[in-house]
Structures are given as C-alpha cells and as structure tokens.
Structure 1
C-alpha cells in the first residue's frame, strides 16, 4: 500500500464544517489500513504537514495524494501532475473534468452517478460517510416538538413554516455550532431539513447530508427535501416525510399529526450497516487495494480509451439522427 496524503486547505477556523469533519473521519479509517497523513495547502498548522514542504521530499511512485475540496481540485491536480492522485468526491457540479488516470471515490450514489457520466473511463467507487457512534436513540422523553438549523434552510422553511409552527408547538431553532448535537436530536420529536434551495443557489449538490441521517439514528422523525445525495437514504413514506409539499397548510397538518401521534421511526439494523466503522474500513481496504494495483499497472499501459469530447458527441448525435431518417425512408 502506498502512503496516503489527504490534502485539506486547513483544519481550523474558517475551514471547519460538515465536509471537513467527514473527511477527518475517513482519514482515521484509512490510517487503520495504511500510513495516511493530513497535508494542508492554504494555511500552515503546527501539527500537520504542509504541501509545499512535502513535495520537496516525496517519491512520486511511493505515495498517493487525495484531493477533495471541490473548488480547489483543478489547481491541485495541475500541481500534482507527476504524482498519483485520487479524487474523494463529496458534492458534484463543480464544472471541472478529470483525466481518466485519477480514480474517484464518491461519498454518495448521487455523486457516483454524476461522475459515471462525466468520467466514464475512470475508476469509480462508492464509500459513504461514517455515522458517529454518538448518534443513537437514547430512549428518553422528548421535550422539543420541532428542531431546525437555520444553515442551508430554505426561505419557505424560515419565513413561513417555522413561524406558523411556533404558535402551535414547541420549536427550537439552531443558529450556530452545537457541541452535543446527538443530545439535542434525542430531545426532539421532529427534525426539519430543507436544503434544495441552498444548493440550487450555490450551484453544486448536496454531497451527503449527514444531519438528517444523524437525527434519524437518534429516533427523530424527519421532514426533509430529497435533493441530490439525500435521496441515497431518505425514502418518503417509509423512513421520512417530504417537506414543502404543495402548500403550507398541508405541511402543518402532516407535522402536527406526527407530533401528536408520538410515533418514532423504526428501521432495521441492516439499514445502518453501511455507515458503521468496521464495514467502512473493510470497504475502503478493497478500494485502496484496487487503486494501488491500477497505479502499479499504469506505467505498463500503452494505450488509453479515448474520452468523448464535444465534437465527438455532436457527431454521434448527427449519425443517430441520420440513421433514424434512413430507417424511416426505407420502411
């Protein structure tokens, strides 16, 4: 196994957030399989390596750089041309293309599908994010009817649905970082999550959407949008409810009904297996072995599958159209 260098802009301050925390968990999983280090490239940190320094000493054959910060990926790939690189893909739709010698590990099937189209000749794998062991149903009484975080929430949620609910039940709105989110989920009957608008405006996709999964693990009923990677695991009518359905009145009726019913989602243990640490480690080991074999073989490969470009696609469309015309004229 080659040594892995996971590239992050930084691990502190403005770089904090869900994407960073998820990446740090994957790094810990990788460290159970092979040598893996964090390397920052925007801000220097006392406890981590810095990319400029690493490039002065590493052997290009003996290591793999793992890039993941979407907006920085094109620049990093250009800088690492002579090295082995993996793209750990969270969100999609950043607009860049990848050469076929860069394997892609995706955190959702939604993102895997995107790269299956955009990088049809690349090695592509699926490795979901890890669900922390602190997220479980503590089976305690729940004193919060509805919980919502303002970040990523739609204007409909914040300006219409929440105000309407506040006069009918106990609502708690979170505006910032929460030290013990699992405890808060365990106090809540319903968790609202509506990120579709946020990601449309951002121009990229919901990469995974950990909060609804974490809340679900804590026994919350979930009312959520099902955009992008949320559709990987949310299943309206079976493990969640779709939010923003047709009218405010309809949403209110559904939410109040769930609050009054006192029911909680019950999912089979098999639902959670793919997000557990041991299963993720086993999966990641298979992926890394295959990628190492690919990099071993790359120097011996003389020809590559030609990538589709704009003009080839147009030519195929024209040929398909001509074939249809020919078929109609001969019938």
Structure 2
C-alpha cells in the first residue's frame, strides 16, 4: 500500500480539539496496515514533517496526502496539486467547497456520506466511523453524579435553563475544562446531556460524528442528546437515547427525573449494548480501513491510464438538462 501523509495544521496547542484527536487516532490505526505519519502545514514541530518541505521533492506515486481540516481543504487541494495522490477524510459537512472526482472521500458518518454523495456524485466515497476506544466501557461502579454536562458545544438553553432547573433536585456536574480520563467520569454519571445543535448552527457546518454521546452510552450512561448531523447515525430516541430540548424545560426535567429514578432501581442494569457498539470498536474499524485503503490504492493504480469523463453537476449542465426535459414535456403535450 502507498504511504499516508496525514496533513494537520498542528498536533496540539490552539489546534487541540476532538477532530484533531480523532484524526490522530485514525493515523495510528492506519499504521497497522501501512506506513503513515503526520505532516503539519501551519506550524513547524520537532520531529514532524512540514508540508512546504515535502512538496519541494518530486511528486511520488507511492504516497497519498490525507486532507481533513475542513476550512483548509480547498487550499490544500490546490497546494498538493493534481500530480500527487490525495484523499479527503471528511468529518463535518456543510463547508460549501467541492472536491474533484480524482480525490476519493472517506466519511466518518452516514450523515456526511449522504452530503458528499450528493455534492460529489462522481467521486469514490466510503464510510469509516470513528473508533470508540476500549477504555469506554461500563465498569459497573457506583454512580455518584446524577447528571453530567460538558459546557463546550452546549446550547444556551442547556446551560441557562435546563441545568438550573435540574440543580434544584439533582446532583449536576458541569465540566468546563479538559478531562484526562473521560471514561472514568462517564462511569460516575447516571445521565449525560449533550446539545450541540446551536453550536454547529453558529459554525454553519455540521456535527461530524459526535463522539461524546456514543462514548457515554458505551460507559452505561443514559443519554439525552440533540440529533443534528452525525449524531443521527447512531442515536435512536426512545431506545438507546432520548431527544433533548423536547418542547419545554419542564418536560425535559420530568423525563430526566423519570430516567434517574429508573437508574436507581435495583433491577435496573445501566449497561451498553455490546453488539450495537461493535461497529465502532477497534477490530471493526481496522477491517474496514484495510478494505477501503485497498480500494483507494487500486483506484490510484488505475487513474494514470484513464481520464474523468462523467459530466459534473455544474449549473450549466443542470440548466441544459432542465431545459431539455422541459422542451420534451412541451412536445409530448402538443403531440
């Protein structure tokens, strides 16, 4: 297989976020099936390749540049050029740019898969969800937190209306800093609240995957969450979760209190569904990644002997099709 260069602006500091950790985790998984390493392009880092330096060398057929940082993808496509192989690892959707058909796309959610299926209909597109590490599991320990909330990405409704209402009768913990062992915290909580719809609406892009609710489910939490973007991939309201912000604050409080009471029953088993989570565990992800990379490598083997000849969905092409179909309807009517 060809070597993978994962292009990232940096590996920490101001670039630290869930998307960065997920991409680094994917890079480490890729190292099990081929050669892979990080290449930074905004800041130079010790013992790490820098993109400008790498591009000074001749184009190499034995390497693939993996693009992922949404806002930077258009300029990275231009910078890498069409003489080098590139792959887009798509997390969030809605940035508005296009990807040429010569660049395969790997999406982290079915929501993003559908977005690119419409926007890049002639690209090779694959689905590879993010990994849920084995540390995220139900440790069957006493749970001393009724309701857990992470302030980052939480809506103003969640923080300013729902949390104060719950604090009157429940032990609520709001976390507003980095947590070293998030799995341990999830194992202390009975209910986890997540509402990122407002955050992503302000960002004008989608929730790419939404790791935290799935990690919380894996740890045995009862989850109340929004269903925007990639969250709709795995959340099934009324079955493995509940929809948050349901009509009114009072109704949310009633439903959460009812869930807390059921958690306290001796017969209640706050446990995750191992079969449901299997799709997101390491072995499943590795198997899919290896299969996808085999297909991507086969495509790049073939590409030099062929050229793209499927008409793109340009405005001119769609206008021509619309007018053609409209004239055909008029002719049939008069005939």
Would the aligned equivalents of 2:200 and 2:207 in 1 still touch at CA under 8 Å? yes
Aligned twin of 1:274: 279
Aligned twin of 2:33: 33
Structure 1, residues 152-186: CA drift from partner, whole Å, max 9, x if none?
A: 11111111101111111100001111111111100
The whole-number CA distance in structure 2 between the counterparts of 1:227 and 1:176 is 24
Aligned twin of 1:200: 201
Shift in Å, 1:321: 4.0
Structure 1, residues 188-219: CA drift from partner, whole Å, max 9, x if none?
A: 00000001111111000000000000000000
Structure 1, residues 5-54: CA drift from partner, whole Å, max 9, x if none?
A: 00000001011110011011100111001110110011111021111122
Which is worse superposed, 320-329 or 177-186? 320-329
The whole-number CA distance in structure 1 between the counterparts of 2:126 and 2:174 is 37
Report matched runs for 1:228-239 at 5 Å.
Answer: 228-239=229-240
Would the aligned equivalents of 2:194 and 2:213 in 1 still touch at CA under 8 Å? yes
The whole-number CA distance in structure 2 between the counterparts of 1:228 and 1:303 is 31
The whole-number CA distance in structure 2 between the counterparts of 1:145 and 1:273 is 27
Aligned twin of 1:310: 315
Q: 1:286 aligns with which of 285, 291, 296?
A: 291
The whole-number CA distance in structure 1 between the counterparts of 2:212 and 2:330 is 52
The whole-number CA distance in structure 2 between the counterparts of 1:210 and 1:133 is 14
The whole-number CA distance in structure 1 between the counterparts of 2:115 and 2:257 is 37
SS of the equivalent of 1:299 reads: helix
Aligned twin of 2:258: 257
Aligned twin of 1:180: 181
Shift in Å, 1:268: 3.4
Shift in Å, 1:229: 0.4
Instruction: Assess, with a 3 A threshold, how the Cα gap between structure 1 residues 284 and 161 changes in structure 2: closer, same or farther.
Output: same
Structure 1, residues 284-321: CA drift from partner, whole Å, max 9, x if none?
A: 11111111111111110045212110122223233444
Would the aligned equivalents of 1:190 and 1:221 in 2 still touch at CA under 8 Å? yes
The whole-number CA distance in structure 2 between the counterparts of 1:66 and 1:305 is 24
Does residue 72 of structure 1 match 2:72? yes
Would the aligned equivalents of 1:239 and 1:265 in 2 still touch at CA under 8 Å? no
User: What runs of 5+ residues in structure 1 fail to find an aligned partner?
Assistant: none
Instruction: Assess, with a 3 A threshold, how the Cα gap between structure 1 residues 237 and 13 changes in structure 2: closer, same or farther.
Output: same
Instruction: Assess, with a 3 A threshold, how the Cα gap between structure 1 residues 252 and 38 changes in structure 2: closer, same or farther.
Output: same
Aligned twin of 2:18: 18
Would the aligned equivalents of 2:4 and 2:64 in 1 still touch at CA under 8 Å? yes
Root mean square deviation, CA, Å: 1.5
TM-score (norm 1): 0.96
The whole-number CA distance in structure 2 between the counterparts of 1:327 and 1:251 is 56
Aligned twin of 1:129: 130
Does residue 86 of structure 1 match 2:87? yes
Instruction: Assess, with a 3 A threshold, how the Cα gap between structure 1 residues 289 and 279 changes in structure 2: closer, same or farther.
Output: same
The whole-number CA distance in structure 2 between the counterparts of 1:265 and 1:242 is 18
TM-score (norm 2): 0.95
